[in-house]
Amino acid sequence: MKFNPDYSTKESLLKLYQKPLLELVFEAASIHRKFHNPREVQMSSLLSIKTGGCPEDCGYCPQAARYHTDIDTHKIMDVEQVLEQAKNAKANGSSRLCMGAAWREVRDNKDFDKVVEMVQGVNDMDMEVCCTLGMLTEDQAKRLKNAGLFAYNHNLDSSKEFYKDVISTREYEQRLDTIENARKAGISVCSGGIIGMGESEEDRIGLLMSYMQMENPPESIPINALVAVEGTPLEDQKPIEQWELIRMVATTRIAFPESVVRLSAGRTKMNMEAQALCFMAGAGSIFAGDKLLTTPNPEYNEDQEMFSILGLIPKESFADAPQPETKPDEILIERKQKEALRQKELEEARTTTDSNKFEPRSIRSVDSL
Contact call for residue 297 and ligand SAM (CB under 6 A): no
278 belongs to the catalytic site: no
Considering the complex, state which of residue 2 and residue 104 has its C-beta at the smaller distance from ligand SF4.
104
Cα dist. 298→107, 176, 305 in Å? 34, 32, 11
Q: How far is CA 329 from CA 141, 148, 180, 333, 342, in A?
A: 13, 10, 23, 6, 20
Check residue 226 for interaction with ligand SAM (CB under 6 A).
yes
- CB nearer ligand DTB, residue 181 or residue 264: 264
Contact criterion met (CB below 8 Å) for 327 and 321: no
Under rule CB under 6 A, residue 229 binds ligand SAM: yes
DSSP-derived letter for residue 236 is T
Query: Under the criterion CB under 6 A, does residue 194 sit at the interface with ligand SAM?
Result: yes
Residue 158, Ramachandran bin (φ over 0: left; ψ between -120 and 50: alpha; else beta): beta
Question: 3-class SS at 259?
Answer: coil
DSSP codes, 20-89: -HHHHHHHHHHHHHHHS-TTEEEEEEEEEEEBS-B----TT-TTBTTS------B-PPPHHHHHHHHHHH
**Annotated catalytic residue, options 61, 96, 175, 253:** 61
Asked if 224 touches ligand SAM (CB under 6 A), the answer is yes
Q: Rounded CA gap, 234 and 162, in Å? A: 14
Within 121-150, which residues bind ligand DTB (CB under 6 A)?
A: 132
Active site (annotated) includes residue 54: yes
Q: What's CA 110's distance to the chain center, in Å?
A: 21
Question: Considering CB distances under 5 to 8 angstroms, the limit depending on partner class, which of ligand DTB, ligand SF4, ligand SAM, none binds residue 203?
Answer: none
Task: Judge contact between 144 and 132, C-beta under 8 A.
Answer: no
Q: Give the residue, chosen from 121, 134, 193, 298, that forms a contact with ligand SF4 under the rule CB under 6 A.
A: 134
Amino acid found at 120: Q
143, 175, 262, 267: the catalytic one is 262
- For the segment 222-251, give every residue that binds ligand DTB (CB under 6 A): 222, 224, 227
| In contact, 99 and 82? CB cutoff 8 Å | yes
Among 27, 117, 157, 303, which residue interacts with ligand SAM (rule: CB under 6 A)? 157
Q: What does the angle CA 357 – CA 360 – CA 364 come to, to the nearest 5 degrees?
A: 140
From the list ligand DTB, ligand SF4, ligand SAM, none, partner contacted by residue 64 (C-beta under 5 to 8 A by kind) = ligand SF4
CA 50 – CA 265 distance, rounded (Å): 19
* Least distance from ligand SAM to the Cβ atom of residue 86, Å: 18
Applying the rule CB under 6 A, the residues between 244 and 283 that interact with ligand DTB are 264-265
To ligand SAM, the closest distance from the beta carbon of 26 in angstroms equals: 28
CA-CA-CA-CA dihedral for 101, 103, 106, 108, to nearest 10: -100
Considering CB under 6 A, how many residues would be counted as binding ligand SF4? 9
Residue 261, helix vs strand vs coil? strand
Part in contact with ligand DTB (CB under 6 A); list of ranges 18-26, 171-179, 209-217, 221-229: 221-229
Nearer to ligand DTB, 19 or 198 (CB): 198
Query: Using CB distances below 5 to 8 A depending on partner kind, what does residue 98 bind out of ligand DTB, ligand SAM, ligand SF4, none?
Result: ligand DTB
Active site includes 58? yes
- Strands 313-314, 283-288: pairing is unpaired
Q: Which of 98, 131, 204, 267 is catalytic?
A: 98
Question: Which residues of the shown chain bind ligand DTB in the complex (CB under 6 A)?
Answer: 46, 62, 98, 100, 132, 153, 155, 192, 222, 224, 227, 264-265, 292-295
Question: Which residues of the shown chain bind ligand SF4 in the complex (CB under 6 A)?
Answer: 54, 56, 58, 61, 63-64, 102, 104, 134
Question: Which residues of the shown chain bind ligand SAM in the complex (CB under 6 A)?
Answer: 60-61, 63, 100, 102-103, 132, 134, 154-155, 157, 194, 224, 226-227, 229, 265, 293
Residues annotated as part of the active site = 54, 58, 61, 98, 130, 190, 262
